Amino acid sequence: MKKSVELLLNRMEELGIDAYVIPSSDAHISEYVADHWKSRAWISGFTGSAGTVVISKEGNGLWTDGRYFIQAAKQIEGTGIKLFKMGQPGVPTITQWFNKNLDNGSTIGFCGESTSLLFKRNLEKECKDKGFKIVPEFDLIDDLWENRPDIPKTQVFVLEEKYAGCSFKEKLSSVREKMKEKGTNTYVISSLDDIAWLFNIRGNDIHNYPVTISYAIITLDEANLFIDETKLDNEVKKYLKDNDINVFPYEDVFNKAGEFKKEDVIFFNPSKSNSKLYMAMPDGCKKKEGRDITTDLKTIKNEGELANLRNCHIKDSAAMINFLHWLDTTVGKEEITEMSADDKLLEFRKEQDLFIGRSFDTIAGYKEHAAMMHYKATEEQQYKLEKKGLFLIDSGGHYLDGTTDITRTIVLGDLTEEEKFHFTLVAKGHIALNNLKFLHGTTGSKLDMIARYPLWQHGIDYKCGTGHGVGFILNIHEGPQGLTMRPNNVVFEKGMILTNEPGVYMEGKHGIRTENTMVVQEWKETESGQFMEFEVISFVPIDLRGINVELLTCEEREWLNNYHKEVYEKVSPLLNDEVKDWLKEATRAI
């Protein structure tokens, strides 16, 4: 990695570039990207999903968030790249670092096709007094990266209406109604999950994320899809033709954007559009910006999607319970590693109807490995499981009828008093959020602290959000809703999906997380207004061996007992007799 940094610095000197920015994103500003776009990982060795590298003569840095502090520090060791822990006291932002370390008039470069328009604008705005020259034309990594993977070309498939809940034409009609409300006649979509949702198509271009690399331009009269046609078989081509969808080569989107007319009013999302696409649009046409129309539509699941999701979560819970039974009866008798445990869980998921694949890379961490929130086991560093301590496994699956995300921390044997105390605090935070009734109009930043409260009382916090939306056979992290400390003005609406996953992460010791998936529902209307609640759709026991019952209130015990009763009732019909007996004990009343 250090050699790659030196090669890049030499190339920068040739071109007169003083600092070069390498983001995590692809041309669609995706959270997770195909190998072709893993430039930041190539230059730094850091493989997390979020982070930005800056290379310059004045120093090299990696900016990433609290989920990855431990992992990043280890992976960039020896590269000459310094870790900047975003959001921590005294840690500068990238633009603040530029203002302090670069001379007036310095040249800052980046690849405009994989950097968002929003980043470019923030850079120009926050560094305007320094007179920096912004150069987005160069993909310098492409010049240096030998044998760089190609842009993927996996086959597209159509998601049938019985799974999607409504047709493409119904969705298109809703989009056009919103376009009219916004006073726009042209809508440019770059976000891959938004495109997949709208067109009811899926692919496999990004590992674990069933999307297809593409752009879309929707007008009041046309639906245009920009995609590599080699990915479309005859069945998909017929589907697109039958739905009056025009298909163009992927790269033609830039030419099409350049043809916008002065009378056109273009709507797009600046945080999801790359700088190159924006610069292709003529200056003369009017532009309106905002969150993607499709994002606001797809975040509220339709009745068909919700029915499918409830069904797929029951199946997935059965797979998880089969795994927990296997682990409980096998650990200490056979060699089990973090990776082999993950493989076994995948076997159980594959037994379920309509299973497609993992919804994200499993986080399977034993002992202190679980303290790294997004830990990924490797052959070289993985642990063997023993009959002691805690094992955290965060996993999920894509099924044709939905996507799941669930975490359980499993007691393998004797625990320390601290481990049991922390396990119980996490359970209390999890229960508090699940039990909550809240007034309509509430946002995630107002509710996030409910799950943190039991931990805060003991001076403990976790450096991530408490929950996120989940896509329908799409991205495991779906917005705009979320449970996070960061200010968020998105109101929780009926039909939104959220995870509930408070945790404790003690570096060098242990990590604990308990996660269920929930649906926002209406509770009851009073003279004070409409109140909402959460419907839990994950049904897997929380390990009672980790609970200090004396620390639970009567209300918390009641919730846990009722939840475990529901787990047994809903999932036991899918299990064999031996696993049923195990589940009965695991869901016993306390």
Say which CATH number the domain at 257 has.
Answer: 3.40.350.10
Give dist(CA 154, CA 574) in Å, integer.
Answer: 34
Domain boundary among 144, 178, 193: 144
8 A C-beta contact, residue 30 and residue 479: no
Look at residue 164 and tell me if it is in a domain.
yes
Is the model's pLDDT at 284 over the cut of 90? no
**85 and 66 Cβ atoms separated by less than 8 Å:** yes
Q: Is the pLDDT of residue 172 over 70?
A: yes
Is the domain of 344 the same as that of 458?
A: yes
Taking only the tens place, the pLDDT of each residue in 488-515 is 899 999 999 999 999 999 999 999 999 9
* Distance, CA of 279 to chain centre: 28
65 with 92, same domain?
A: yes
Q: Could you report the per-residue pLDDT of 473-494, keeping only the tens digit for each?
A: 999 999 999 999 999 899 999 9
Whether 150 maps to a domain, the answer reads no
Over residues 12-35, the pLDDT tens digits come to 999 999 999 999 999 999 999 999
- Average pLDDT on 136-165 reads 95
Q: Are residues 283 and 363 in the same domain?
A: no
Domain count for the chain: 3
- Output the DSSP codes for 157-195: EE--HHHHSS-HHHHHHHHHHHHHHHT-SEEEE--HHHH
- Which of 298, 313, 342 is the endpoint of a domain? 298
Read off the pLDDT band of 279 (50, 70, 90).
Answer: very high
Work out the average pLDDT over 87-111.
96
Residues 361 and 290 in one domain: no
In this structure, the answer to whether residues 130 and 167 fall within a common structural domain is no
Q: Which residues contact 562 (CB under 8 A, 6 or more apart)?
A: none
Which residue matches tokens 């869980």? 345
- H or E element: which one contains 54? strand 52-56
Q: Name the phi and psi angles at 429, rounded to 5.
A: -65, -40
**Average pLDDT over every residue of 36-64:** 95
321 and 406 together in one domain: yes
Range of the domain at 7: 2-144
Average pLDDT in the chain:
96
* pLDDT recorded at residue 54: 97
Q: Is the pLDDT of residue 2 over 90?
A: no
What are the pLDDT digits (tens) for 416-435?
A: 999 999 999 999 999 999 99
- Establish if 586 belongs to a structural domain: no
Q: Is residue 588 part of a domain?
A: no
* Residue 303: DSSP 8-state: H
Residues 206 and 311 both lie in one domain: no
Q: Is residue 334 classed as helix, strand or coil in its secondary structure? A: strand
CB 257 within 8 Å of CB 281: yes
Q: Is 101 exposed, middle or buried (0-12, 13-18, 19+ CB in 10 A)?
A: middle
Task: Compute the residue count for the chain.
Answer: 590
If asked whether residues 416 and 504 sit together in one domain, one would say yes
Q: What does the pLDDT look like over 186-198, one tens digit per residue?
A: 999 999 999 999 9
517 phi and psi angles, rounded to 5 deg: -105, 140
> Do 341 and 483 belong together in one domain?
yes
In the block, which residue shows the tokens 């376009």? Answer: 179
CA distances to 252, 253, 389, 539 from 211, rounded to whole Å, are 19, 18, 38, 28
253, 270: one domain: yes
Contact 163/308 with Cβ under 8 angstroms? yes
Q: Quick one: pLDDT band at residue 1, thresholds 50, 70, 90? A: low
Are residues 181 and 93 part of one domain? no
